[in-house]
Structure 1
Amino acid sequence: MVRFALGRPNALERRPKRLARAIPAMSVGIASLLPLAPVVAEVGWMPDTGLLLLLAWRLLRGDVIPAWWAAPLGLWNDLVLGHPIGLSVVIFSGSMILLDLLDRRTMWRDYWLEWLLAVALIVLAEVIRWQVDGAMGARYPLATILPASAISALSFPLAAWAASRIDHWRLGR
C-alpha cells in the first residue's frame, strides 16, 4: 500500500511501454542521426551508430527486430548520412541475414563471440563502403578506414549496453 501511495508500481503493475514493438526500430533510427553531430575532421572516423545499434539489438534479442526491418532502417541511414541509396540497405539486410544463419548454426554464444561477430560485420561493412567509394571515383588508401573500424569495434560494447538499457526501460522492468 505504501509503495502504491508513493507512486511506485510494484512488479505486478509494471507493463511494457505503449510502443514497445517500435522502440527498437526508433532507437536505431535515432542512432543513425548521431554521426550528424557537428564534429570537424579530415577523415571520417565517426562510427556508423545506426549499424552498431542494429547489431546490438539483433545480438541482444533476436526477436525484437525482424529481418525485413533492416531495409527501411538502411534506407533511413542512407538518406540521413548521404550514402549512395541502397548501400546501407544492403549492409543492414546482409548483416541481419548472416546473423540469422549463424543463429541456426550455433548452439550457444557468449559475450566475446558476439563482440567478434559484430566486429567482423563492422569491418566488412567498412570494406564494402570503401569499395563502393572507389567505384564511384573516390580513391583513397585502405588504411584510412582503420580508425573508423577500430572506433566502431571498440564502441560496440557501448551500443550493446545502450540497447540493453533501452530494452530494460521498454519492457517496464
Structure 2
Amino acid sequence: MIPQGPRLGGNPSRLRLEGTPFITVMLGSMLTSLPIIAQSPVLPPVGLLLLLSWRLLRPELWAAWIALPLGFFDDMMTGQPLGSAMCLWTITMIGIDVVERRLIWRDYWQDWLIASFAVIFCTIGGLWFARLTGGGGTIALVAPQILWSVLLYPFVARQCAWLDRWRIMA
C-alpha cells in the first residue's frame, strides 16, 4: 500500500531522493539494448527522454555537467560512437539552462516544445556522429524515431512526475 502523505517525522532516504532520477535515466538508456529487430532506428531514446523530463520537471535537481556521465552510460548502452551522447546531452542541458534564464515562466506546452527541439537536435546529432565514424543513413532514416520520441515525451514526463511524488514521500 502506498501512503497518501509523508509519515510524521519520517524522511525519505538519501538514496531514494538522489538515486531515483539517476537510476531511471540509466534504466531508460538500457532499454535500447533489448533484443528488438528492426531495419531502422524506431525505438525512442528513452534515456534522453527521461533526462529531459527530470530536468524540465525539477530544474534544481541537476547541474548541466550531469549529462556527461549519463551520456557516457548511454553511449555504452546504445552502441553510439563514444562521446556522442556525452557531447549532445551536455549541449542540450546548457541550452535548456540558457532558455530557462530568458523565460519568465514556463508551462506544459513550452516544456514539450523544448523537449522536442532537444530530441531533434540529439537524434540528428547522433546521426552526424555515426556518419563521422563510418556509419550511414539520412535524416529520413531517423524521422520515425524523432516522431515517436516527440509524441512519447508527455507520457514520459507524466511517469517522471509520478516517480517524483513517490521519491519525496517518506
* Compared CA separation, residues 141 and 170, structure 1 to 2 (3 A): same
Q: TM-score, normalised by structure 2?
A: 0.91
Structure 1 counterpart of 2:88: 91
Counterpart of 2:11 in structure 1 is 15
> C-alpha deviations, 1:64-123, integer Å up to 9, x for none?
122221110000001111111110101111111011111110001110111011001100
- Contact kept in structure 1, 2:6 and 2:169, CA below 8 Å: no
Q: Identity of paired residues, percent?
A: 32
CA distance in 1, matches of 2:114, 2:4: 39
Compared with structure 1, are the counterparts of its residues 16 and 42 closer, same or farther at alpha carbon in structure 2 (3 Å cutoff)?
A: same
1:135 paired with 2:155, answer no
Q: 1:8 to 1:106 in 2, by over 3 A?
A: closer
Task: Indicate the residue corresponding to 1:29 in structure 2.
Answer: 26
Task: Count matched residues.
Answer: 168
What is the alpha-carbon distance in structure 2 between the residues aligned to residue 96 and residue 125 of structure 1?
11
Residue 70 (str. 1) matches residue 67 (str. 2): yes
| Partner residue of 1:156 out of 153, 156, 165 | 153
For 1:51-66, list aligned pairs within 5 A: 51-66=48-63
CA contact (8 A) 1:17 1:172 kept: no
Structure 2 Cα separation of the partners of residues 108 and 59 of structure 1: 12
Equivalent-residue separation in structure 1 for 2:64 and 2:166 (angstroms): 23
Determine which structure has more spread, i.e. the larger CA radius of gyration.
1
Q: CA 1:24–1:10 in structure 2 vs 1: closer, same or farther (change >3 Å)?
A: closer
How far has the Cα of 1:10 moved from its partner? 5.9
State the match for 1:4 in structure 2: none
**Unaligned ranges ≥5, structure 2:** none
